[in-house]
Structure 1
Amino acid sequence: MTGQFDGKVVFISGAARGQGRSHAVRFAEEGADVIAVDLCGQLDSVAYPMATREDLDETVNLVEKTGRSIIAEQVDVRDFDRLREVVGRGVAEFGRLDFVLANAGIFPAVGPQRFDISSFVDAIDVNLKGVYFTIEAALPALLSHGEGGAIVITSSAAGFKSVSSTFDTMSHGAAGYTAAKHGVIGVMRHYAASLAEKNIRVNSVHPGGVATPMIINEAMGSLVGDQPAFGEAQQPKLSMPPMEPSEVTDAIVYFCGHSGRHLTGVALPMDGGLTLK
């Protein structure tokens, strides 16, 4: 690793496993200290097992093995005051904040609960409002040192294309997920335009299916089996192995690092051509 983030601090939501854990470990390997949050609990609208406190503890273990420090707390990204509290604690400990990775998200578009209106509400609350709350909770610290920084939002290929492609694949959960992932592009552009004068760059990444527990689970397998049209609509055009979390991390490191210093307002598709017309 290059140590390009020596002396820097990153705040990551959804850090207990999957993409968030990958980001935390890689940023630590590059020299950054980490402020990490995750719900570590289950929502009724989510059919697959969500992350646990034990998962977050493993993220802590992996970051500490790099020699960097981490503060990790159980936080619901729908709780703005709690987010601010944890960011404040992290900044008091580490002295600054340089990067914000708004990564936390849920996929309430599988399982029978996807037909409950609560699945739409939870998708918007976590995947859209939670992104905004994460950034707003961190923004004062990001601005305070006057040296700029970077924000990266994790959206999805669903930011460009509906999760449901037929009448049979419609659900409240699919609608909420699609709307939220489209919505965070607007949030990204709002901040990119507004924070450019402060030299804070804001971009979003839009992966297709990534090999994490959010995608690889029994509920997703059942949906694809029951609704072949759903599975077919999620197939990339490139014949590649499933994307690994580390590949998304590579893109985020690029956005936050020296190589990405001229990039802001970019919505980066990472979907193997899934959203090509």
Structure 2
Amino acid sequence: MGRLENKVALVTGAARGQGRSHAVRFAEEGADIVAVDVCAPLDTPYPAATPDDLAETAALVEKTGRRIVTAQVDIRDLDGLRAAVDGAVETLGHLDVVVANAGICIPAEWDAVSPELFERTCSVNVTGTWNTVMVSAPHLVRAGGGSIVLVSSAAGIRVQPFLVPYTTSKFAVRGMAKAFAVELGEHHIRVNSVHPCATATPMADESVLGILGPALEAHPRLAGMFTNILPLEQAQPEDQTNAVLFLASDESRFVTAHELAADAGVTEY
């Protein structure tokens, strides 16, 4: 306990799933939290997070005794996101850790991907992640350093089928982390990416599996691309939080421009 004592951490997509797990664990480790989520439909096959979900995250953080500031904002809205983060930093005093976790995934075979689906995925996963860094990095510069963790995916290291927009966006996030690391390093800011495998969150619910299942049945040669080395099927959000926490903490003070994959070996198969 106490690995993030007296730090302030921003987590996007914090209403549920991995984002909630990160926020609560960070609070248990001593951090105050800025929790951001759109809490509105994004035309995904799985249900969107709700304001009640974000309120539950806040309650869980407050139960640890730490402070939390929440904001319901779309990460694609640069001005709105900046106002939310600036206001939270004014309340909490500083910012030390950023976890750009928010993202969407809409599986489809390549010839079923519409321009709208492609644009929506990239605007959330790429532009939204860029926005998150742009509004938060100046606070880390003023604080004299910090850690930024961009959540990519196993699909950002090794291609996975029926996910052209998602894979494209997550490779971009991986490159973005390295690019920011180069320029922010002089300010003692570390930037890394994490690459989760399939994790038990609403993004991996039956509606998503209902799309992937028939596609894999129609193209069985590609099924092995989802096979883990370890005999494990789905990670839990806490498994990914352990990786994110390491990168957020001072234990990783010599780690930057790195991709960390808590993926049961799926990217090496």
Note whether the superposition's TM-score is higher than 0.5.
Answer: yes
Q: Does 1:227 align with 2:185?
A: no
How far apart are 1:222 and its partner, in Å? 4.2
How far apart are 1:269 and its partner, in Å? 1.9
**What is the match of residue 20 of structure 2?**
21
Q: How do 1:235-250 residues align onto structure 2 when only pairs under 5 Å count?
A: 235-250=227-242
Q: Does 1:193 align with 2:182?
A: yes
Q: Does 1:261 align with 2:226?
A: no
Structure 2 spans left out of the alignment, 5+ residues: none
Q: Does 1:97 align with 2:110?
A: no
How far apart are 1:259 and its partner, in Å? 1.4
Given that residues 107 and 208 in structure 2 are in contact (C-alpha distance below 8 angstroms), is that contact kept between their aligned partners in structure 1?
no
Q: Which amino acid aligns with 1:120?
A: F
How far apart are 1:48 and its partner, in Å? 1.1
Structure 1 spans left out of the alignment, 5+ residues: none
Given that residues 12 and 24 in structure 1 are in contact (C-alpha distance below 8 angstroms), is that contact kept between their aligned partners in structure 2?
yes
Q: TM-score, normalised by structure 1?
A: 0.91
Percent sequence identity is: 43
**Gap change, CA 1:222 and 1:144, over 3 Å in 2:** same
Q: Which amino acid aligns with 2:263?
A: D
Given that residues 224 and 231 in structure 1 are in contact (C-alpha distance below 8 angstroms), is that contact kept between their aligned partners in structure 2?
no
Q: Which amino acid aligns with 2:80?
A: R
**Gap change, CA 1:187 and 1:222, over 3 Å in 2:** closer
CA distance in 2, matches of 1:20, 1:211: 12
How far apart are 1:220 and its partner, in Å? 2.1
Q: Does 1:106 align with 2:104?
A: yes
CA distance in 2, matches of 1:106, 1:151: 20
CA distance in 1, matches of 2:116, 2:5: 43
Name the SS of the counterpart of 1:140 in structure 2. Answer: helix
**What is the match of residue 173 of structure 2?**
184
Q: How do 1:165-180 residues align onto structure 2 when only pairs under 5 Å count?
A: 169=162, 174-180=163-169
**What is the match of residue 199 of structure 2?**
210
Q: TM-score, normalised by structure 2?
A: 0.94
Q: Does 1:274 align with 2:263?
A: no
